[in-house]
Structure 1
Amino acid sequence: MNQISQLHISSNTLTPQIYSDLRQKCSNLFQPYETADIEIALQNTLYSVVIFDKQQPVGIGRVVGDDRIVFFIKDVVVDPAYQKRSIGTMLMRSILDYIYKQACPSAYIGLMSTPDKESFYEKFGFIRRPNELQGCGMVKFVE
């Protein structure tokens, strides 16, 4: 665990309760899921990270994929009361450290940015799509 002031990072300790609570604090951005579904999702997560202020979770992130060629960064969420304090940067550094240790050369790292957060991810080398070489990212939700 890395200590930074009152904040500390904990790997692979994300629980359904922490996941739901932090996403609910940003309810305008995220749809809710049933606890049983969250439990399965977290069991199938390659890596997760939680940032705590003392004992209070204030940021989360996780990685899904095949752990070698494809990695998808999901659920990077920071409690609105803690935004603009470099917590997102701490989450992304931890996530990318994990991925770089696991990934083969030319591995794909994807994510879907929330609106107006693209420049945050560009600081970590992510590129916007579409561009001259790549089409738009696409998504479909199960009804």
Structure 2
Amino acid sequence: MRLEKNGLTWEIFDSIRRYANMPIYEKADIIEALKNTLYSVVVYDDKKPVAIGRIVGDGRIAFFIKDVVVHPDYRNKHIGAMVINDLLDYIESCSCENPYIALMAMPDTEAFYEKFGFVRRPNENFGSGMICLNRRKVKLT
């Protein structure tokens, strides 16, 4: 296996994400999103991309790990750990002390991320993680 830093293309992004239960995006949207990516990684088996991961954020305090996907034929072979370790190494190389590092785990992958120090929410210290899929304006009174 070979790990390539910042080699994520729209074609690889689109093809690998199709192996997970993730939304499919238009080519132009993927290209723009990748332009705004802080860091990405692609794992290859010979010339075949088999895993990806990327980071978005401000490059100093806040980091969000996104799009971690391993091709089904390559799961349970420590490739996901290779991706996460590399992403966390990048964050450590450029972050301030005590950065905010977050991700949204796909169902049934929480235990994998806990091995790296991530915690489930809500818990006694943190409220629920939340996402907004359909923004609504709130009237100010």
**Aligning the two structures, in what range does the TM-score lie when normalised by the shorter sequence?**
over 0.9
How far apart are residue 24 of structure 1 and its match? Answer: 1.0
For normalisation by structure 2, the TM-score amounts to 0.93
Distance, in Å, in 2 between the alignment partners of 1:67 and 1:25 is 29
How far apart are residue 25 of structure 1 and its match? Answer: 2.1
The answer on whether the counterparts of 2:19 and 2:69 sit within 8 Å (CA) in structure 1 is: no
SS at match of 1:62: strand
Identity among equivalent positions (%) equals 52
Distance, in Å, in 1 between the alignment partners of 2:101 and 2:19 is 27
Q: 94, 110, 128: which one pairs with 1:118? A: 110
How far apart are residue 142 of structure 1 and its match? Answer: 4.5
Output one character per residue of 1:39-83: Cα deviation in whole Å (capped at 9) or x when no partner: 000000000000000000000000000000000000000001110
Please, which runs of 5 or more residues in structure 2 have no aligned partner?
Answer: 136-141
Please, which runs of 5 or more residues in structure 1 have no aligned partner?
Answer: 1-6
Amino acid at match of 1:53: D
How far apart are residue 141 of structure 1 and its match? Answer: 1.7
Q: Which has the larger radius of gyration?
A: 2
Distance, in Å, in 2 between the alignment partners of 1:25 and 1:82 is 11
SS at match of 1:25: coil
Say if 2:35 is the partner of 1:16: no
Distance, in Å, in 1 between the alignment partners of 2:134 and 2:43 is 30
Count residues with an aligned counterpart. Answer: 135
Q: 25, 32, 46: which one pairs with 2:19? A: 25
Residue 104 of structure 1 corresponds to 96
What do you get for the CA RMSD once the two structures are aligned? Answer: 0.9
Distance, in Å, in 1 between the alignment partners of 2:68 and 2:133 is 19
Deviation above 3 Å: which 4+ runs of structure 1?
none
For normalisation by structure 1, the TM-score amounts to 0.92
